[in-house]
Structure formats: structure tokens, C-alpha cells
Amino acid sequence: MAVAVSVSRIAAVLLQEVYITLRSVEVIVDLPVWSLVTVMVFGFVTLFLSRVMNPIFAQYLYMGTLLWEIIRVAQYSMSLSALWNVWSRNLTNMFITPLSMPEYIVAQMISGAIKAVVLFGLVALIALFVFGLNLFALGLPNLALLFVNLLCFAYSIGLIILGIILRLGTRIQALAWGLVLVFQPLTAAYYPLDVMPPALQSVARTLPPTYVFEAARASLSEPRVHWEFMAIAAVQNALYFGLAVWFFAFMYRRSRQTGQFARNEE
Amino acid sequence: MQPVLEVRDLTKAYGSFRAVDRVSFDLSKGQILGLLGPNGAGKTTTIQMLVGITLPDAGSIHYFGMDLRRHREACLERVNFSSSYNMLQGRISVWENLVVFARLYRVDKPEHKIRDLCGYFGITHLLSQVFKVLSSGERTRVNLVKALLNDPEVVLMDEPTASLDPDIADRTLSLIESLRQSRDLAIVYTSHEMDEVTRICDEVIFLDHGRIVAQDTPARLTKRILHSQVRVRFEGQRGQVLRALNGRFAAVAVPHENVVVVTTEEHLIPQAIFDISNAGVRIVDIDIEKPTLEDVFLQIARGDGRVS
């Protein structure tokens, strides 16, 4: 079965995203407002901690918080986009047009990436000008690699959550907000990997963001691309993304086989 | 002429429950086909499979000679759907919703198209309104505009007039009738309103427990119920009326002192009236109730088996 991808239909989904984003107080609160609150709160915490400890450790915390925003924003965008339409009983309407699920997912990935770029850029600038943490000093190629790897992980988690929602319905919609938080302590976002107990370190090493955060911390003192971490993150991300696509395709097919896809809006 | 929609042995089971069981039918250009049946008969599941959001277990769906599963995009570009239950995105305006759908269908000059259709349906004034604040009637008309954006050749309508007040429902039906005539649209139409179905459908399929139990024109379906009823109010002796009618008709009942109800084949109704008038009473009122599609529906829904 050939799947023809239409740029026009991807653009249509993106256009709907723009309309929904501009008209939804919830999205504005969940994305820019929450990002701004995070950058401010942890900025002040970093200023305080810098006075009482080695500032580099306070910066680990702050940088981890800012980089985590990439995962949060992109995953939120991927998972919630379908829910906005399910809640409006409009998702099935969209899929009785020629729109295919791959086109829809590509549109959501683009939307997530744009939101993550804009919001991460914003918090990085605030961190620089208000709190003196210059993430751009890590080097733009390095920062871009960190960004892409975290984005890729967010896509994988977003796809898995979306697949579960399509298959099981909105009764587990809280996963769209909550599941990603499970990975926060496990990926050593705010602290070096070696402070974790050995068992948890083993778990952490199976997650791509762990290597991204390790690379970012290493870059603070030595600004360059730390390929020893980034290569592992990239390989793991490729694996995770492949598995997520397979899982999503399986859940979407099962959702249509069981009739759940149509029942989600009843 | 090749049908625009061919459905063969369509089957869908949820566990041991067969929601749709080997359903087959054709839809021709310009034809309105009604899908009727009690709740749980399989109408909605059939429609869901026809638009590809539920996958059949067996059977085939061909639009314009193309298999829906293999040529989903090519099929759905020429098909559309309208339901009183499916909403558009509630948070954004009618205009924004319609622009999104026009682009999903890759409509040329979408703005022009939207304004034309909204003018036709009299909803131009709603374009800037957020969809969720619209009334049921307004939503239905917006849904109909959405359903015509791509100049479809087939439209699937799932209870499009449900929850509308009678006036709006009537206007909606008139619009559907005029659309069929002006665009040669083929329509699959589900409804619980038998009068609507009788009015607009060329052919009706009755589903029960997922199976087709009757398929014909509304007129021929109602003729399959053999008995009509004539209700006669009279002045005079009841006994004389009953003696005159005795044993000659399928059933004779006297619900009130001066009212007799005769159930009989349609062609015997004049005879029944003639017999009553010859019984030495004065007839003051006659009410003839011919079988309707609703009677066919009730007969099926009550499990009276296949309509003959």
C-alpha cells in the first residue's frame, strides 16, 4: 500500500495547530508561561546556590532544567495535539479526509520542534541576560546536537503516549502530561550520573537523555561536542524512535481494528 | 453504469458480537440509500468502515472501482462525511475550521469555495464565531459545508438531523434534496426518523443484528406489511356493525362505544367501509392508517423476523 505524503495536508495540520495554540489559554499556560516560570524560579535558585557552593554545580542544575524544557515542550506538543481534537470530537473528522497518520505525525513533529526551538531559545536568552548562564557558549553545533537528541527522545515518548491514548482512549489521557516525568529522575537531568545508585545508573544508561545531560555538563567546563556521549545518545535515539514508530503503528492499527479509534470521541 | 460505492460481504465482530455480518450493497450516482435499524444494528459501524476509521474483519469496500484499503487517499478525496455527532474543532472559528479542512482536501481557492458554500447554507455571518458556541442547527449546517468542500461524489450522512428542531431539520432535508439534484450526489443516509427516510431515500436497507433483513424502496417495503387499519366512528348500534363485519376481515376491534377498528388488506378497506355503512348506522368519521416505514422498522426491531 503506497502512502503519498502531501505537504499541503501537513501544512493544514500545522495551520490548525497555530489556530489552536493562539486560541487556547491552556496551551499558553502549559507552554510559554510554564517555561518562563521555570527559567525564573530555577534562575534564582541558581543565583542563591552559586553563593554557597561551587557555581558550576548550581549551573548543572539550571542547565538541566533548561534542557529538560526541550523534552517537555516537544512531548507535550506531540501528545496533546491529538487530544485537543479528541476533546472536540474532531479527530475522526480529520481522518476521514485523505490525511494519513504519517502526515499527521510529521506535522506534529514539526510543530513540536518549532515550539521547542522558540521556547528553548527564549529561556536560553533569559538565562543568559538575567541569570548569566550562557548556553550558547557551549557552541552552536554542540547545542544543536544536544537539542536534536533531546527532541528525538521527546518524539519517541510522545509517539508511545499517543499510541496508548488512541488504543485505550482518553481515560488514560493523564499520561500525556505525566509519563515523561518518570524519566526526569532516571536521566540524570540535574545531577551527574555517578551520584545515582548502581542499579539506577544501569537504567539511566539505557536512556538517551542521560548521555545528552552528561555531554552538556562536560561541555560546561570543556565546550566542544562530546562524541563519546553524543554517539551513544544518537544510536539509542534511533533505536527508541524506531521502536516508538513500530509501537505507534501497532496501536493505531489495533485501535481501528477494535473500533476504539471511532469510540474515543463518543 | 458502475456504482460509485460497492460493498461486499462487509463483516466486523467485536469479540463474539457480530456488529456487521456480511453486508453487501451498491450505491449509484445520484442515489440516496438509507441505512436503518434499531440501536446496535450495525449502522454506525458500517459507516465507520466506509470512511476507513474502523477496519473490517472481512469483505471489501470499493469507491469508484478502487479498493478503499489500497487507495485510501484517492477514494477519500472524492468522499465526505457529515454527522450530527462529529463536531469540528471547538476552540477555533468556523472560518479557521473550514480553511483547515479545505487544505486537507487540497481545494483550489479554498476561501472562495468556503464563502460560496456558506452563502448557500446561509451561515456567512457565523464565519468568525468560535465553533463551540454555535447552536445545533448552526453546527449541522457548518458540518454540511465541510462535507461539500471537496465537491464529493459520495457523502455519508450519519443522522444529520438528530437534535435539530423540526423546522431546521426540514430545511436541512430540503438542502440535501437540492444537493442531490444539483450535484448528482450519491448519499448513504442513516436516521431514526422514518418520515425523513421515506421522504428522501430512493432505497432503504434495514439492518438488524448486523445483517441486512430487508432492502427495497420505501414504498415497496411498506407494501410488504399486508394489513392496513381503518378506524370508523359512527352513530348507531354497535352490534349491527360487528355483525356486518363478522369474519370477513383480519381483525375487528371496538376500542370505544362508537368506534370500530378494522385491520385488513389495503384493497379490502373500501369493502369494510361499505359494510359498515350498510349496517344501518351513520358514519361520522373515517381514518385510514396505511403501513409506514416505521411499522416495518418496528416489526424488525421487535424481532418479528424478516419482512416478507
Task: Output the domain CATH number for residue B148.
Answer: 3.40.50.300
Q: A107 pLDDT band (50/70/90 cuts)?
A: very high
Residue B308 has pLDDT above 50, yes or no: no
Of A85, A96, A261, the CB nearest to B81: A96
Å between A14 CA and nearest CA of chain B: 9
Pick among A96, A99, A265 to test the B interface (most B CBs inside 10 A) = A96
State the residue range of the domain holding B235. 226-290
Q: What is the dihedral of CA A209, A244, A83, B75, to 10 degrees?
A: 150
The pLDDT mean for chain A works out to 93
pLDDT at B307 over 80: no
User: Which of A5, A13, A20, A90 is the best residue to mutate to test the B interface, defined by the most B CB atoms within 10 Å of its own CB?
Assistant: A90
| pLDDT level of residue A3 (50, 70, 90 thresholds) | low
Residue B295: inside a domain: no
**Residue B242's domain is classified under what CATH number?**
3.30.2130.10
Q: Are strands B79-83 and B58-63 parallel, antiparallel or unpaired?
A: unpaired
The 10s digit of each residue's pLDDT in A119-133 is 999 999 999 999 999
Residue B84: pLDDT over 90: no
In the sheet with B251-256, reading across from the earlier edge strand, the strands are B251-256, B259-265, B227-235, B282-289
User: Has residue B234 been placed in a domain?
Assistant: yes
Contacts of residues B95-102 at CB distance under 8 Å and 24 or more positions apart, as own/partner, are B95/B127, B95/B128, B96/A16, B96/A19, B97/B131, B97/B142, B97/B146, B98/B127, B98/B142, B98/B145, B98/B146, B98/B149, B99/A15, B100/A12, B100/A13, B100/A15, B100/A16, B100/A19, B101/A12, B101/A93, B101/A97, B101/B146, B101/B149, B102/B149
Average pLDDT of chain B? Answer: 89
- For an interface test with A, the pick among B17, B53, B109, B150 (most A C-beta atoms closer than 10 Å) comes out as B53
* Structural domain count of chain B: 2
Query: A105 pLDDT exceeds 80?
Result: yes
Q: Is the domain of B58 the same as that of B41? A: yes
Instruction: Identify whether residues B197 and B238 lie together within a single domain.
Output: no
Residues B183 and B236 in one domain: no
Q: Same domain, yes or no, for B271 and B179?
A: no
Q: Please identify, among B222, B241, B264, the residue that sits at the C-terminal boundary of a domain.
A: B222
Q: Is residue B298 part of a domain?
A: no
Q: Is A166 helix (H, G, I), strand (E, B) or coil?
A: helix
The answer to which of A9-13, A78-82, A236-240, B129-133 has the lowest mean pLDDT is: A78-82
Say yes or no: B187 and B233 in one domain. Answer: no
Using CA atoms, how far residue A215 sits from A74, A247, B108, B255, in Å, is: 20, 29, 49, 91
pLDDT of residue B304: 59
% of chain A beyond a pLDDT of 90? 78
The answer to whether the CB atoms of B100 and A95 lie below 8 A apart is no
d(CA A13, CA A81): 10
Which grid coordinates belong to A103?
Answer: 502526515
> B161 and B213 share a domain?
yes
- Asked if residue B135 and residue B260 are part of one domain, the reply reads no
Total CB pairs under 8 A between chain A and B: 112
Same domain, B190 and B52: yes
Same domain, B113 and B184: yes
**B176 in Cβ contact with B161 (< 8 Å):** no
pLDDT at B306 over 70: no
Domain for residue B123, yes or no? yes
Same domain membership, residue B231 and residue B83? no
Q: Express each pLDDT in B199-238 by its tens digit.
A: 999 999 999 899 999 899 988 888 777 788 899 999 988 8
Q: Are A259 and B104 within 8 A, CB to CB?
A: no
Q: Give the pLDDT of residue A25.
A: 87
pLDDT winner (highest mean) among A75-84, A140-149, B171-180: A140-149
Residue B303 forms part of a structural domain: no
Comparing B276 with B86, the larger pLDDT belongs to: B276
Any domain includes B301: no
Q: State mean pLDDT over B76-103.
A: 93
Domain ranges across chain A = 7-263
pLDDT digits 0-9 by tens, B142-186: 998 999 999 999 999 988 888 677 887 888 888 888 888 888 899
- In chain B, which ranges are E strands? 5-14, 17-27, 32-36, 58-63, 66-67, 79-83, 154-158, 186-190, 203-208, 211-216, 227-235, 251-256, 259-265, 282-289
Say yes or no to pLDDT of B305 above 60. no
Nearest CA in chain A to B77: A98
Mean local confidence (pLDDT), A78-83: 86
The residue ranking higher by pLDDT, A245 or A54, is A245
Q: Are B35 and B122 within one domain?
A: yes
Measured on CA atoms in the order A229, A230, A235, A239, is the torsion positive or negative? positive
Q: Phi then psi for B73, rounded to 5 degrees?
A: -60, -50
Encode pLDDT of B30-51 as tens digits.
Answer: 999 999 888 888 999 999 999 9
